[in-house]
Chain A
Amino acid sequence: MTPPTPEHASGAGPEVMLQVERLVVEFRSGKRRVQAVSDVSFEVRTGETLGLVGESGCGKTTTGRALVQIQPATSGTVRFEGQDLGRLSGRELRRARTRIQMIFQDPISSLNPRRRIRDIVAEPLAIWGTGSASERAQQVRSMLESVGIDPDAAGDRRPQEFSGGQCQRISIARALMAKPRLLICDEPVSALDVSVQAQILNLLADLKAEFGLTMVFIAHDLAVVKNVSDRVAVMYLGKLVELAESDALYHSPAHPYTQALMASIPEPDPEHVSEHEPLTGELPSPLDPPSGCRFRTRCPYAQDRCASEEPLLREVAPGHQVACHFPLGRPVPVPERAAATV
């Protein structure tokens, strides 16, 4: 059901900021080729947060990098505000990238250890020669304040003097200096403590409102992704397996993988009883993906058809797409959850 032509032009429906079509990213491994991202299509609507979730090796980070063209696509297109990023010249691409910024997983190693905080944050302005030196300094100050860093105390310090959470705040400040429309967050909180994680997630929500951002939020923890996202796309071994609005995904997951991902989240409640078995086994090698449905080797409901025929992404409910031959039942009422947790 992947549409071969863009449909964002047709007036009705929400405005689409980023349109990804049949994206394929291949890496070479010796003489063989590995498809890290395998025919993935989705859109990011203006003003929304789209979550991208999956285990290590599912291609979520590669997808995120391909959106910014740090990682060139092998085939397929990434259209940002109607512009095909793959066809831009180097100069045009760099200009386009000021509108798409990215923050990374490891906040400490993504900052240059030898530079001062104020210079790191001012860099996007310095590159484009925006404003005078004093104007830039003023913008750096107000941006640092926005992310909860005291510019007077922090400006002259270097990254190693800050904790992981503070470095992530600084990375966010740097990303926002270029006034992006789209912010791609690649596992921005997975290296942080739960207490700091909550601070950063709240900060991202505040900044999204303050600067009118659209976000792609990549992470492996579905509880985190669901909390921040309007819609969630679930990836498995290079494929998109389910895409739905966050709450719909939680209440009626259609793909067995999504259900298993939810079951493996540790609930901070000793009385909580998980209704489903967590996932067993490891991700198969992407060098030699299973035939048919790629999840079938770990799927508790796999049948013969799953090995012979690849399931395509199709709609099971409005706005809810799944790639599974035997999607989990009709949207069921939430079973005795309230009764189970006393």
Chain B
Amino acid sequence: MIGSGRRSADALHFPDVAELADPLLEVKDLVTSFRTTRGTVHAVDGVSLTVDRGRTLGVVGESGSGKTVLSRSIMGLLPARDVVRGGTVHFAGHELTAMEPAQLRQVWGAQMSMIFQDPMTALNPVVRIGRQITESLRLHLQMDRKEATATAVELLRSVGIPSPEERIRWYPFQLSGGMRQRVMIAIALACAPRLVLADEPTTGLDVTVQAQILDLLAAMQQERHMAVILVTHDLGVVAKRADDIAVMYAGRIVERAPTRTLFAHTRMPYTRALMDSIPRLADPSGTRLKAIGGRPPDLIHPPKGCRFAPRCPYVQAKCREADPPLRTAGSGDHLFACWFPLVDGVPTGTAADQAAVSITSTPSTPAEVPAP
């Protein structure tokens, strides 16, 4: 059911998935800043990444790390005013950052789509779910009403919604949170896009429903050979579902590696700290969690040197002075930005300071004004 999406004279040409060259998506030095009354917020600050056809990239970071702005910047879903943009987004042979809104509309939904975090606010509450699915089918694939409705029923069935012929006439409020997220997925997948950006698709859902939704997304991805960027704050969510993981901190990628490498040979202390903060079922009850003290930095005035330095248990003088570049270790596919990267959980560098350090478990949150 892959259509070409051609509609008008200046229609963009997108080759079939099989004919596409890798990488499907290539982001270079992407910068997104917002001008606010308090100053310029450097939300995404020089991010480069690639995603191949049919692969899954996990983007992991805390609130305020810039991961949502990154996915919106890739899509081109940014406000028109008070935004400073830089860098390039190369997708399936096209440069998205140079596109006019009319051209972008041919990309959105048809070639690249997004699954949002909150399905209640992302769905239109006063439009039946059937019409919300058929909208893009009729626009991009020029289906007639009957054909689009039949396709929508099939889509709802494929995302596991029981009696879809009936549900197609329902409104979002009549569905549970998990069902709404399934509808969101059906909408995002309707025109068989090559890339799906899923921004915290399961945050706010029960763990049981989360597992179902992620399994569904993986099955649809397999079936349709889609690439997926899975954005989340929880490393547990991407551990078994992403081919590669990029960890973001304060607007930058601080570590990037194939998933197994990232977990087995974590180099960046921030990644380690994120892993350690997750409560594990196998730990005895009452095990104290290793929390990361403090909060992510203010993106208006990011700290000098390594941005994680103020919270890093292994911080040394150099970290506060110089900004560590994203560099490779051994094999070229493992990148990290750290002066004293971990080896088997222990930082390299001068041994003297390291005997005493341990991850702070007591939070000491300063009550400063958070970024809006």
Contacts of A265 in B (CB 8 A): 207, 236, 281
Q: When the two chains form their complex, are residues A163 and B63 in contact, meaning their CB atoms are under 8 A apart?
A: yes
What are 25 pairs between A and B in contact, CB < 8 Å? A55-B206, A56-B176, A56-B206, A149-B367, A194-B233, A194-B274, A195-B277, A195-B291, A196-B63, A198-B289, A202-B288, A205-B288, A223-B279, A226-B285, A228-B285, A229-B285, A260-B208, A266-B207, A267-B280, A268-B236, A270-B240, A271-B263, A272-B239, A278-B212, A282-B178
Q: B237 on the interface (CB 8 Å rule)?
A: yes
> For residues 160 through 190 of chain A, which have their beta carbon under 8 Å from a beta carbon of chain B?
161-166, 169, 190
Shortest distance from the beta carbon of A223 to any chain B beta carbon, whole Å: 5
In the bound complex, how far is the Cα of B209 from the Cα of A279, in angstroms?
8
Residues of B within 8 A of A149 (CB): 365, 367
With A55-B208, A166-B365 as known contacts, state yes or no: A268 contacts B239, CB within 8 Å: yes
Verify if B368 is at the interface (C-beta below 8 Å from A): yes
B206 & A270 in contact (Cβ 8 Å cutoff): no
- Give the docked Cα–Cα distance between A127 and B363 (Å): 31
Q: Are A165 and B212 in contact (CB under 8 A)?
A: no
A270 with B292: CB separation less than 8 A? no
Report the bound CA distance from A261 to B97 in whole Å: 44
Partner of A201, one of B210, B281, B289, B368: B289
Is A307 interfacial (CB 8 A cutoff)?
Answer: no
Q: Indicate if A42 sits at the interface (CB-CB under 8 A).
A: no
Contact flags (1/0) for B221-243 with A, using CB distance below 8 Å?
00000000000011111011000
Does B27 count as interface, using CB distance less than 8 angstroms?
no
* Shortest beta-carbon distance from B54 to chain A in Å: 18
- Inter-subunit contact A227/B287 (CB<8 Å): yes
From residue 31 to 84 of chain B, which have CB atoms closer than 8 A to chain A? Answer: 62-64
In the bound complex, CA of A220 to CA of B291 (Å) = 21
- Closest CB of chain A to B257's CB: distance in Å? 11
- List residues of chain B with CB under 8 Å of any chain A CB: 62-64, 176-179, 204, 206-212, 214-215, 233-237, 239-240, 259-260, 263, 273-275, 277-293, 295, 361-370
Chain A contacts for B291, CB-based, 8 A: 195, 198-199, 201-202
List the 7 closest pairs (A to B, CB-CB), nearest first.
A246-B285, A266-B236, A198-B291, A154-B367, A198-B277, A198-B289, A150-B367
> CB-CB < 8 A to B212: which residues of A?
278-280
CA distance A56 to B367 in the complex (A): 33
1/0 per residue A249-293: CB within 8 Å of B? Answer: 010000000001111111111111000001110100000000000
Contact B363 A199 (CB under 8 A): yes
Shortest beta-carbon distance from A249 to chain B in Å: 9
Contacts of A203 in B (CB 8 A): 363
Residues of B within 8 A of A157 (CB): 367, 369
> CB within 8 Å of B: which of A216-231?
220-224, 226-230
A172–chain B nearest beta-carbon distance, Å: 12
Inter-chain contact B208/A162, CB cutoff 8 Å = no
In the assembly, what is the distance between CA of A247 and CA of B282, in Å?
A: 9
Interface flag for A337 (CB, 8 Å): yes
Contacts of B282 in A (CB 8 A): 250, 337
Given A197-B277, A222-B281, A224-B279, answer yes or no on A264-B210 (Cβ-Cβ < 8 Å): yes
Q: CA–CA, A187 to B279, complex, Å?
A: 15
Chain A positions within 8 Å of B369 at CB level: 157, 161
Q: Is there a chain B Cβ closer than 8 Å to A70's Cβ?
A: no
Q: What's the least CB distance linking A55 to chain B, in Å? A: 5
Whether the Cβ atoms of A193 and B289 lie closer than 8 Å is: no
Judging by beta carbons under 8 Å apart, are A195 and B62 in contact? Answer: yes
Give the distance in Å from the alpha carbon of A262 to the alpha carbon of B278 in the complex: 15
Q: What chain B residues lie within 8 Å of A6 (beta carbons)? A: none
Tell whether, in the assembled complex, residue B208 and residue A279 are in contact, meaning their CB atoms are under 8 Å apart.
Answer: yes
Chain A residue at smallest Cβ distance from B260? A270
Q: Are B370 and A193 in contact (CB under 8 A)?
A: no
In the complex, the chain A residue whose C-beta lies closest to that of B311 is A195
Of the candidates B207, B234, B278, B281, the one having the most CB atoms from chain A within 10 angstroms of its own CB is: B207
Separation of A230 and B287 alpha carbons in the complex (Å): 11
Find chain A residues with CB under 8 A from B283 CB: 227
Tell me if B367 and A153 are in contact (CB < 8 A).
yes
Contact A266 B366 (CB under 8 A): no
Q: In the complex the two chains form, is B370's CB within 8 Å of A162's CB?
A: yes
A331: interface (CB < 8 Å): no
Residue of B208, B214, B364, B370 with most partner-chain A CB within 10 A: B208
Chain B residues lying within 8 Å of A165, measured Cβ to Cβ, are 295, 365
CA distance A282 to B274 in the complex (A): 31
Distance to closest chain B CB from A179 (angstroms):
23
User: Is A148 engaged at the interface, CB distance under 8 Å to the other chain?
Assistant: yes
Q: Are A194 and B285 in contact (CB under 8 A)?
A: no
From A247, A267, A280, contact of B285 by CB (8 A): A247
Q: Say whether A195 contacts B206, CB under 8 Å.
A: no
Cα distance, A191 to B284, chains bound together (Å): 24
Known: A162-B370, A166-B367, A195-B291. A223 touches B208 (CB 8 A): no
- The CA-CA distance from A195 to B287 in the complex, in Å, is 16
Expressed in whole angstroms, the Cα–Cα distance for A85 and B259 within the complex equals 53
Contact A55 B363, beta carbon cutoff 8 Å: no
Compute how far the CA of A199 lies from the CA of B223 in the bound complex, rounded to whole angstroms: 40
Q: Beyond A194-B233, A268-B236, A271-B260, is A169–B281 a contact (Cβ under 8 Å)?
A: no
B289 to A202, Cβ gap below 8 A? yes
Q: Which chain B residues lie closer than 8 Å to A337 at the CB level? A: 282
Q: Is the beta-carbon distance between A202 and B207 smaller than 8 angstroms? A: no
Give the complex CA separation of A220 and B278 in angstroms: 15
Query: Who on chain B is nearest to A54 by CB?
Result: B206
Question: How far apart are the CA atoms of A264 and B362 in the complex, in Å?
Answer: 29
Query: For window 121-163 of chain A, which residues contact chain B by CB distance below 8 Å?
Result: 148-150, 153-154, 157, 161-163
